[in-house]
Chains A and B, each alone.
Chain A
């Protein structure tokens, strides 16, 4: 393999890694949009809270059990940040969006921006405005193939994200709850008529989306090693872009959109200029919206936000 090609593959891997995280967050945007046609701008903040929950779990666990094997710690932090975030997701839905059901869509949209500000500032007050560093709990093991290196951390990101995505796909397709979800997304009123509690479905959707974002947040925190209360903003915006890119409302679309966005950004930053990194994401979105307004895998729905 030529050196240039190896470099290309390395950059591709870098892009795929962050793309996985984008995909996890994008799923929450797309699922919520699917059931209540709301762009939940507070979703990026749930992701950020997930990262802070992971930090808390690590700190607490390490203080009571200093020699904890990292695998156990990893499972603990995933479980707790998922639980915490789904609780948060359900609360946000109940407090902020449920009272607004039936009101104009813009009202809920603006409310979600308000929730986003609230969460950012709440975390700032709780944890302080300083950048927080996460202890490096994953051993720094690198796998090499020719000159391409791949770390254990990246492997964990891939494994976790891919298995969660498969689980979600299976869940939505095969379980009763998943079928009810799809029914509610298809037509809420009709779903209600056949005995599906749409309110419950909406709550479950919020919880699942939040749990996925929390895993994304935990992985993000572990990968970069430092988190800040406004990390949710940019990551949320990118994931939202990914969701629209893939076709908002479509679950496979969010996965594909997230991964592709990460790859485009990575390759753009490497081969064109890193100054334009954020611009690539939005140029891409612009092109897709012009050429195929419903996104890559989206259906052509008449309603728009």
Chain B
């Protein structure tokens, strides 16, 4: 044992010498941006797409040189496992870092909502790429922003599409009882009923549950024309598959949470055929302005995730604010984000209203055809 000590001490010393300079320099050479999303767990796939979008924005910014002075940006991934408790832990971890000035996230509305109070308290600016629940921005937190449309925009458009375009008047509804899923379904139901449609049945399910045959058998007996689902794709894949097995052969529709290629893979292309989804904005593939971005992204990471472009936009808004702020100060960065005007994002100009919601975001409608989400039309919200 004794013989090992010299070796060990050499190792420790050299390790120490590696750490020391970075400690000394980190004081003013780094500004930290958090990226909070479900990086593990059942939504890890979509969460990692968000991470990659943000990573690309940060790498591109850093390759152009320091954001100000000799400061570079460091992206810190925070995993919330789409669990609000983990989201709060992650938020606390980030705000306790004096180098952290902002966060991109979270992904799920439930997590964004839970963590938003912590960021607000710590004056850390938060830009969510994907949380659509309308209530989040109405908590009076001036630190909260988002680059996506909200469910009170998205859901009425879905309701109008089913009622007026598809001419379906009798539907059933299922939601996953989360902040996002229930909020989306609530907004949808309000509009669909106002249009004169009839909701024959509305029921909730639990995330992580696998067996939905009892509920689907019940729905089959009331014979709806379509089923609207408020929730995220893993459960919908099972719902679709099991609905065909119990002989319930109606189309499904959902919001942005289901518009992911994994849905089709899990539910099989055959069964998911004809499923509708609304998405916040259009398909980046269909935009000539986004062509360059999509090509760069796909060369680096492979197929683009449903929310990668939003994460890229949100990160760039924050980086731009950092550049204008010119110093590592949370209040200054926050006021610069507020001052964002006509920022050139992938899906058009980004502006925030007084609540921090993105203004004038359009909604795209997609349908699964031949095993792929096909872009049908773009709907501009009417305010």
- A residues near B (Cβ < 8 Å) are 3, 7, 10-11, 14-15, 17-18, 124, 128-131, 133, 136, 140, 142, 149, 151, 220, 224-226, 228, 230-231, 233-235, 265-267, 269-270, 273-275, 277-278
Question: How distant is the Cα of A266 from the Cα of B214 in the complex, in angstroms?
Answer: 6
The answer to the question of B324 belonging to the interface, with a C-beta cut-off of 8 Å to chain A, is no
Given contacts A149-B246, A275-B204, contact A269 B215 (CB under 8 A): yes
B266 interface hit (Cβ, 8 Å): yes
Given contacts A129-B45, A131-B266, A230-B42, contact A270 B211 (CB under 8 A): no
- Cα distance A233–B241 in the bound complex, in angstroms: 22
Instruction: State whether B209 touches A131 (Cβ < 8 A).
Output: no
Contact B214 A267 (CB under 8 A): yes
Q: A274 touching B215 by the CB < 8 A rule?
A: yes
**Smallest beta-carbon distance A249→chain B, Å:** 27
Q: What are 24 A-B contacts defined by CB distance under 8 Å?
A: A3-B221, A11-B214, A11-B218, A124-B40, A128-B44, A129-B41, A130-B44, A131-B42, A131-B237, A224-B210, A224-B211, A224-B241, A224-B242, A225-B238, A265-B211, A267-B214, A269-B214, A269-B215, A270-B218, A275-B203, A275-B206, A277-B205, A277-B214, A278-B206
User: Is B40 within 8 A of A133, CB to CB?
Assistant: no
A124 (CB) vs chain B CBs: closest residue: B40
Residue in contact with A226 in the complex, picked from B177, B217, B218, B237, CB distance below 8 Å: B237
A270 and B214 contact, CB distance less than 8 A:
yes
12 further interface pairs, Cβ-Cβ under 8 Å (given A7-B217, A133-B265, A275-B177)? A7-B218, A14-B214, A15-B214, A124-B40, A129-B45, A136-B268, A142-B247, A225-B266, A226-B234, A230-B208, A274-B203, A274-B205
Q: Is the CB of A14 within 8 A of B217?
A: yes
- Are B234 and A129 in contact, with the CB atoms below 8 A? no
| B 200-246 contacts with A by CB, 8 A | 203-206, 208-215, 217-218, 221, 234, 237-238, 241-242, 245-246
B214, B215, B217, B242 interface centre (most CB from chain A within 10 Å): B214
* Number of residue pairs A-B, CB distance < 8 angstroms: 96
Q: Is B71 engaged at the interface, CB distance under 8 Å to the other chain?
A: no
How far, in Å, is B364 (CB) from chain A's closest CB? Answer: 24
Residues of chain B within 8 A of A225, CB atoms compared: 238, 241, 266, 268
What B residues does A129 contact at CB under 8 A?
A: 40-42, 44-45
B42 surroundings in chain A (CB, below 8 A): 129, 131, 228, 230
Q: Tell me whether A234 and B45 are in contact (CB under 8 A).
A: no
Residue B262 at the chain A interface, CB threshold 8 Å: yes
Would you list the 8 A-B pairs with minimal beta carbon distance, nearest first? A129-B44, A275-B204, A269-B214, A270-B214, A274-B215, A14-B213, A130-B45, A266-B214
* A295 CA to B23 CA, complexed, in Å: 60
Report whether A151 and B262 are in contact in the complex, using a CB–CB cutoff of 8 Å: no
Q: Would you list which residues of chain B between 287 and 329 have a CB under 8 Å from chain A?
A: none
In the bound complex, CA of A267 to CA of B213 (Å)? 11
Q: Which residues of B contact A140 (CB under 8 A)?
A: 245
